[in-house]
Every structure is written in C-alpha cells, then in structure tokens.
Amino acid sequence: MNTLVTKRFLSALSIAAVFGSPLVALAETGNANTRFTQRAEQIKERMEERNAAMEERKANWEEKKEERKEDRQDAFCARFTERLDNKDERMGDRADNVKDRVENRTSRRTDRRDDRDEWLDGKRDTQDEHRTALYAKLDEKAGTDAEKAAVAEFKKTVDAAVAARRAAVDKAIEDFRTAVDALVTSKKSGSADAYSKFKSAVDAAAAKAKSDCEADVDPKTVMSTYQAAVKTARESLKEDRSSIDKIRDDVKALAETRKKAIETAIETFKSTVKTAKEKLQAAMGNESN
C-alpha cells in the first residue's frame, strides 16, 4: 500500500516536472495578462502624450503662421501706404509743373503780344514822321489857294485812311487774340476738369486700399483692386483728353482770318491814297510826289 502511494506521488511529481503545476501555470498566466495590460496602458498613454504634443505643435505652428501672416500684412500695408503717399505727392508735383507750364505759356504769349504791339507802335511812329515830312513838302509847293486847298484835302483824306487802316488792323489783332484766349481758356478748363476727375478717382482707390489694409484684406486682393481702379481712371482720363478740342488748327484758322482782314485794310488804304494822290497831282499840276 505504501509502495503504491509512493509510486503515484512520484508519478505526479514527474508530470509536474514535465508539464508544470496547474497552480503555477495559472499564476504565470495571470502575471502575463497583467504585464500585457500594463504595456497596453503604457502604449496608450504614450500615444496620448504624442498626440497631445502633436496637437500642441500644430497649435503653435498655426499661431506662428497667423503671426507671420499678420506681420506680412502689416509690412505690406506699411510699404503700400508709403507708396501711395509718395505717389500722391508726385501727382501734386506734376500738377504744379503743369500749372507752371501753363502760366509760362500764358506769360510768353503776353510777352509776344507786347513785343508785337511795341513793334507796331514803332512802325506807326515812323510812318507818322514820314507823312508829316511829306505834308511839309506839299505845303511848301502849294502856292495858290486852290493848291493849298487840294493839299489840305489830300492830308485830310490820307489821315482818315490811315486811321481807318489802323482801326481795322487793331480790330483784326484784337479779335484774333480774344478768340485765341477763349480757346486756351476752354482747353485749360477741360484739361483741369479731366485731371481733377482722374485725381479724385485715384484718391478714392488709395483710400479704399488703405481701408482694406486696416481690415486685413489679403494683400494680393488689395493690390489688384487698387491697380484695376487706377487703370480705369487712366483710361477715362485718356478719353476725356482726346475729347478736348485741339486748338492748333483753330488758331491757324483764326490767324488766317486776321491776315485777310489786315490785307483788306491795307488794300483799301492803298486804293484810297492812290485816288487822293491822283486828285492832288491833278490840282498841283503833276508836281506832287
């Protein structure tokens, strides 16, 4: 009996040695499950930490990106605003230059007229001197009362003809100048209105660009909108200027009218003097010059 128990016990020990004790196996299985659970939790924790870190980096990147965008926006607006201010200043300078050129042309035109008037006055003074000398010679030659009367009539006729010629010439010159001044004034007014319209459009475009900058509108949109507005304003200015009458041909036509009026006055004067001279020669016995 004891021998049988001993054999069974030894057999059990052999089996336990080969396959392990069920209690031990159960304990080891429990430990393995615990370690697996712990590793899973550790992995989950690391993944959560990693995801949190990634989200933080992403948030920081987005924040920095927004900051860089704001910095670029501020830099663009600062540069663009400076360019707009400089452009406005240049436009003001160009407007002043145009005004100066117009004033210079007006001054030169006035100077030319003054020079012409001075030349005409000098020429008339010389003519008056020659005519006075002629009258003196005729008075010396007139011996009879009839001859003296003929000389007096001749002088009266010539003086009247001279006055009529000068009045006609002066009127032709004055009419020409008045018409030219009207053309110049009209063109100046039209040009000024066209430029004022252009500048108002450009100023409005600049004001909108500055406002868009302050509202954080995309720089490309700000730039393209401004450029489109300025382009439209330039095209409108070009059309307005092309519609303004060109005065060169009109001035030429006025000059031709003045020329014909003066020529007519001179021809009338010559005809009158010729008739008066022939009448005087007849009275003086063909001795007058």
* pLDDT tens sequence across 31-83: 767 877 888 788 888 888 888 767 776 655 665 555 555 566 678 788 878 88
- Mean pLDDT across 180-203: 88
How confident is residue 173, by pLDDT bands cut at 50, 70 and 90? Answer: very high
Residue 262 has pLDDT above 80, yes or no: yes
Q: Which range, 17-26, 38-47, 173-182, 224-233, has the best average confidence (pLDDT)?
A: 173-182
* Residue 288 confidence (pLDDT): 44
195 Cβ contact partners less than 8 Å away, ≥ 6 residues apart = 95, 98, 237
Domain locations in the chain as residue ranges: 71-284
Place of tokens 């920095």: 64
CB 162 within 8 A of CB 131: yes
* Residue 222 confidence (pLDDT): 87
* Residue 168 confidence (pLDDT): 98
Place of tokens 């020079």: 115
* Residue 215 confidence (pLDDT): 86
- Mean pLDDT across 183-209: 88
How confident is residue 94, by pLDDT bands cut at 50, 70 and 90? Answer: confident
CB 173 within 8 A of CB 119: no
Cα–Cα dist 186/19, whole Å: 121
* Residue 106 confidence (pLDDT): 81
Residue 188 has pLDDT above 80, yes or no: yes
- Mean pLDDT across 242-271: 91
Between 96 and 222, the more confident residue is: 222
Place of tokens 């030219």: 180
Cα–Cα dist 117/115, whole Å: 5
H and E: helices and strands count for the chain: 5, 0
Place of tokens 């006729």: 157
Residue 107 has pLDDT above 70, yes or no: yes
How confident is residue 289, by pLDDT bands cut at 50, 70 and 90? Answer: very low
Between 253 and 44, the more confident residue is: 253
Q: Mean pLDDT across the chain, nearest whole number?
A: 83
